[in-house]
Amino acid sequence: MREADPERTRFRRGLRESQTEAERRLWYRLRDRRLADFKFVRQESVGRYVADFCCRDARLIIELDGGQHADSEHDRVRDAWLTAQGYRILRFWNAEVVNNIVGVLDTILAALSPSPRLRGEGESAASPKGEGEGAVPVETHPEPPPHPRLPPRSDDDKVAGALSPQAGRGERHP
């Protein structure tokens, strides 16, 4: 395991504290495995570069750019190096994230392999209908009311369908 570089850690922490509105909006939808149960991290060091968002399992990097990145030679060199390391890079303009978050999330989902939740991991060998000898009836629990001091998971119903359920609830998508 490599040792932490305190200067680099401070730099990445500063980036997280001074994120743009577009980064805040996208992070809200990527964090806590909210997008199809994929784990994303932000401001991740990859070699000498820092990726805005990274899904390590899918080797996917998401970059949000402002106008200063248009036709950037530095970005071309950086992308070539990251690609050589086995990463795929998706770039979005900040305005695109702010004005079309659903389209951005759809593009990210299309770039990811099937969700771990959809691959059948953790499935039991029981009958799909739970019938037969020794079957235990399934209890259904009503959805708990929203927490009075926390914001809803997503104000956008179209986005909410693409987001994974909150952790610890035991809900699963078909």
Could you state, in chain order, the average pLDDT of each consecutive group of 10 residues for the chain (174 residues)?
62 60 92 94 89 94 79 88 95 94 95 65 47 54 54 50 48 50
In CATH terms, the fold of domain 6-115+149-160 is Endonuclease; Chain A (3.40.960)
Domain ranges, ordered by start, for the chain: 6-115+149-160
Torsion of CA 157, 27, 57, 7, to 10 degrees: 180
Distance (Å, rounded) from C-alpha 52 to C-alpha 44?
A: 7
The predicted pLDDT at position 167 comes to 47
- Angle subtended by helix axes 101-111 and 21-30, to nearest 10: 50
Distance (Å, rounded) from C-alpha 56 to C-alpha 128?
A: 32
The predicted pLDDT at position 125 comes to 44
Q: Which of 49, 27, 39, 163 is nearest to 97 (CA)?
A: 27
For the chain, the distance separating the N- and C-terminal CA atoms, rounded to the nearest angstrom, is 38
The predicted pLDDT at position 20 comes to 86
E strand or H helix at 63: strand 60-65
Residue type, 31: R
Distance of CA 89 to the CA centre of its chain: 14
